[in-house]
Amino acid sequence: FKKGGKAALLAPTTVDQQKFSFENVGISDNYHMIRAKKGFSMTGYCQLDLGIAKCHFEIGAGVNNLEWQ
């Protein structure tokens, strides 16, 4: 989880604002349950930025057993 979070912080965003957060919800059926939340931004690109950050999180975490909530 920590490696994924660090990788997400390095992800590029539309206006260099990291308006997202991740929460480790637990483990279910050998899958790490991760909740991703977008923040508020006046530019309106939060959903796009969240997708980019989630991709970087998965790459950094290095596991194939993630499930997003």
> How high is the pLDDT of residue 21?
84
> How high is the pLDDT of residue 44?
73
> How high is the pLDDT of residue 48?
85
How many CA atoms lie less than 13 Å away from 57 in the CB half-sphere? Answer: 24
> How high is the pLDDT of residue 63?
74
pTM of the full predicted structure?
A: 0.76
Domain span at residue 31 reads 2-68
As for how many domains the chain has, the answer is 1
Backbone dihedral angles phi then psi of residue 32, each to the nearest 5 degrees:
-80, 120
> How high is the pLDDT of residue 46?
79
Q: For residue range 6-59, list pLDDT tens digits in order.
A: 898 888 887 777 878 889 898 888 888 888 888 777 777 778 888 888 999 999
